[in-house]
Amino acid sequence: MEELKNDDMPIGFLIHLFYRAFKRRIRKICVRNGINSTYGYIVSFLHHSPNQQNCQNAIVDHVRLKAPTISLTLKQMEQLNLIERKNDVVDTRKTICSLTKAGNDFSKKFQECINEAENDLLKNVEEEEIVQFRSIFKKMMKNIEGDN
């Protein structure tokens, strides 16, 4: 774990350090449970947006990997029967992705890994502190998204 040496570190940098540490924790839990975390982020995205047209471009935007990498990853996931891919009937240039039953099961296993990481994260944190954090987080998100 990266040790924080200075209380005057910029908040944005602290958020960056937190994000990296949390993703490492999730990856470690996934590895221990035999789950590919990249597949997990993709199936989670598809699981939480089932009514949208989930084309490969939306997955690229969500997972933040390059299109060729996503294309290869989706091909591997299709071979493992986690997803189905088919061309959009309206726009054949789009490839629509959807979860299979195995993909939904995988999504649940990945969510268990996320839950374990979150439980680790919130050890020794009081409910009042969580409520306060959520309130501050919402304000910061509103500020950064320009909604103020």
Name the CA radius of gyration of the chain, rounded.
Answer: 18
Residues 95/55, Cβ–Cβ less than 8 Å:
yes
Residues 70/87, Cβ–Cβ less than 8 Å:
no
Residues 96/53, Cβ–Cβ less than 8 Å:
yes
* Structure-token pair, residue 24: 């490492």
Residues 88/94, Cβ–Cβ less than 8 Å:
yes
pLDDT of residue 4: 57
Least confident of 48-57, 84-93, 96-105, 122-131: 48-57
pLDDT of residue 96: 85
Q: pLDDT tens across 106-140, in order? A: 999 999 999 999 999 999 999 999 999 999 999 99
pLDDT of residue 38: 93
